[in-house]
Structure 1
Amino acid sequence: MSAAAGELRSDRIGAGAASLALLASLLWGGNQVFIKIGLVGMPPLAMAAARFAVGLLIVAGAAVATGVAVRVHAGEWRRLLGLAALFVLQIALLNEGTHYTTASRSTVLISAHPFFTALFCHFFVPGDRLNLAKTGGMTLAFAAIVIIFTEGLAFGDLSYLAGDTMILASAVLLGLRQMVLKRLVHGFHPFKILYWQALLSLPVFAVLSLSFESEAAYHLTLPVLGA
């Protein structure tokens, strides 16, 4: 196999992959809205635990139904544990940050993660170098970040600053996580990655919630449960 063939290339995608990416973007855009709805009735870390408990059941069921093995082999634990640690921190910042800002600002800021993904991949993924098109997209993403922060500072409104900063940090970690997925767990079945991300992060979120949110009030209405 040539060196070029061995590189993890991602600069060209087909129509099917582009359509799936567009669908994922549409669903992702609504994620912050549902997080905001859920935060009305439960604290951020507890909501993360609840969502990933449901997600774990769904992914486990899908893996069983399709015959996908999720067993961890020798040498894979370190990569999965590192990925899960990134996942926990990124989701915790996302939920906490959304609690302290608006759903629209959260959506714009977290959607800047491709900027950081491209930047990390440029330095750490062979064959995934920046080109003119990627640089242009990164510039637009960075411009959105600048607008969000300068808008609040210009009008002296700092009420969302803490939440916006946490969301931006979450976007950085999400970009790093995408690079790690490509670099370290390349070749893993998606069900296996999702299953272990959820299984390893679930007890962490549960312990963190019990430790820091023990006095939080819960209002489990239908919209909150649906979120």
Structure 2
Amino acid sequence: MPASDSPTPYRAIDLRGAAGALLASLFWGVNPVAIKAGLEDAPPFRLAALRFILGGTVILVWAAGTGRLRGFRIAPDEWRPLGVLGLLLAVQMGTMNVATTMPTAAHVAITLILYAVQTVVLAHSMIPGARLSLRRLAGVLVAFGGIVILFGRGFSLGGPTLVGDAIMFVSALILAERTIYLARAVQRQDPVKLLLAQAVVGIVVFLLLSAIFEPAATRWTGRLAGAIAFQGFVVTGFNFIVNLWLLKHYRPSALSALFLTQPIFGVVAAAIVWGEPLTDDVVVATLAVIVGIALTQR
């Protein structure tokens, strides 16, 4: 698939785009639960390396099977942007995995979605035509308010939970920047290069970090295998491919409104898998997020 010389015009969100975004949101929302399960048996950087090895293999097989590797070549002026994109992903995923060792899975899912708010604001100044209208701003604030309600209890817990929440806040900011960077890059570069660059840089960075900072042994259990399979096949493989297609055809600011459903999926999954309580805060936050999404889509 050759790179395009001119950007692809963005579409308005349609049924196909909304369905793809919501499915990706479901998998991303459940991802912190899978990460927390994997961290029971492997340290954070090693878990990330295993995830990217599997996910990179999925992407490579997909690219080869669809003929996208024919004539594959990286031009000299492409190395730097591809490297930057890969490093952004590595830093974001590294901070996310480290943070997940501290708070609950629900906290991770909730804090991570702050990237959607940052994406809307960044897109307003960086993506042509991504106007931050008063209605959209109100929707973002309402949804953000719901997340803050659910997130507020974590501040009273202090200790590791508060540190983990702070690290996740940084991870969310990096994810917002990466989303905008990727949305601009995918308009002019071969999507296969973008996907493989992220996987290769992630594998190298995390293997190096694990070798330096993680002497602990890995426990090879069925739980770890399931966690790696979900993160590798579904999140790093399927979701990366779908997300790249979404970013090529729809504005990031419009997609982030649909991605605000991630904390709902994450909190429910955390309750089912880890027994984390579904409190009144969850109900209020869920309603606020739904109202916020409705406002941002009008």
TM-score (norm 2): 0.69
2:48 is aligned to 48
For 1:50 and 1:66, the matched residues in 2 are separated by 25
Q: What letter corresponds to residue 79 of structure 1 in structure 2?
A: P
Matched residue, 2:38: 38
What displacement does 1:187 show? 3.5
SS at match of 2:77: coil
CA distance in 1, matches of 2:67, 2:120: 34
Structure 1 counterpart of 2:16: 16
Distance 2:9 2:106 in 1: 33
Is the contact between residue 7 and residue 126 of structure 1 (CA under 8 Å) also seen in structure 2?
no
CA distance in 2, matches of 1:144, 1:175: 19
Contact between 2:7 and 2:188, CA under 8 Å: does it hold in 1? no
Q: 1:4-26 deviations in whole A, cap 9, x for unaligned? A: xx887657211111110011011
Listed as ranges, the matches of 1:112-191 within 5 Å are 112-153=114-155, 155-191=156-192
| Structure 2 residue corresponding to 1:103, chosen from 105, 108, 111 | 105
- Quote the residue 1:74 is aligned against: 76
Which whole-Å CA distance do the structure 2 matches of 1:163 and 1:47 have between them? Answer: 18
Change (3 A) 1:142 1:99: same
Cα RMSD between the aligned structures?
Answer: 2.0
Farther-moved stretch of structure 1 (69-78 vs 98-107): 69-78
Q: 1:90-142 CA distances to partner (integer Å, 9 max, x unpaired)?
A: 00011001111111110111122111111111111221121234313321343
Q: Which residue of 1 aligns with 2:203?
A: 202
Q: Distance in 2 between matches of 1:190 and 1:140?
A: 34
Deviates more, 1:21-30 or 1:140-149: 140-149
Task: Note if contact 1:35-1:98 (Cα within 8 Å) is conserved in structure 2.
Answer: yes
What is the percentage of aligned positions where both structures have the same residue? 36
For the 8 Å contact 1:115–1:137, the answer to whether it is kept is: no
The CA distance in 2 between the partners of 1:131 and 1:104, in whole Å, is 30
Q: Which amino acid aligns with 1:85?
A: L
TM-score normalised by structure 1 residue count: 0.89
Q: Match of 1:18, as an amino acid?
A: A
Q: Partner amino acid for 2:174? A: L
Seen in structure 2, the aligned counterparts of structure 1 residues 7 and 197 have a Cα distance that, compared at 3 Å, is: closer
CA distance in 2, matches of 1:139, 1:88: 29
Counterpart code for 1:150: G
CA separation of 1:147/1:9 partners in 2, compared to 1, >3 Å: closer, same or farther? farther
Paired with 1:49 and 1:147, the residues of 2 have a C-alpha distance of: 34
Distance 1:11 1:166 in 2: 34
Change (3 A) 1:193 1:131: same
Unaligned regions of 5+ residues in structure 2, if any?
Answer: 1-5, 228-298
User: 71, 82, 85: which one pairs with 1:83?
Assistant: 85
Contact 1:8 1:128 in 2 (8 A): no
Aligned length: 220
Q: Residue 112 of structure 1 aligns to which amino acid in structure 2?
A: L
Q: Deviations over 1:11-52 (max 9, x none)?
A: 721111111001101111111110000000000000000000
In the alignment, structure 1 segments of 5+ residues that lack a partner are 1-5
Q: Do the aligned partners of residues 144 and 213 (structure 1) sit closer, same or farther apart at CA in structure 2, a change above 3 Å counting?
A: farther
1:3 aligns with: none
Range 192-201 or range 167-176, more displaced = 192-201
Letter in 1 for 2:105: A
Distance 1:194 1:45 in 2: 20
CA contact (8 A) 2:85 2:197 kept: no
State the Cα distance separating 1:143 from its structure 2 match.
1.9
Against the structure 1 CA distance between its residues 18 and 149, is the aligned structure 2 distance closer, same or farther, given a 3 Å change threshold? closer
Instruction: Summarize the Cα distance change of 1:132–1:163 in structure 2 as closer, same or farther, 3 Å threshold.
Output: same
| Distance in structure 1 (CA, Å) of the matches to 2:61 and 2:8 | 30
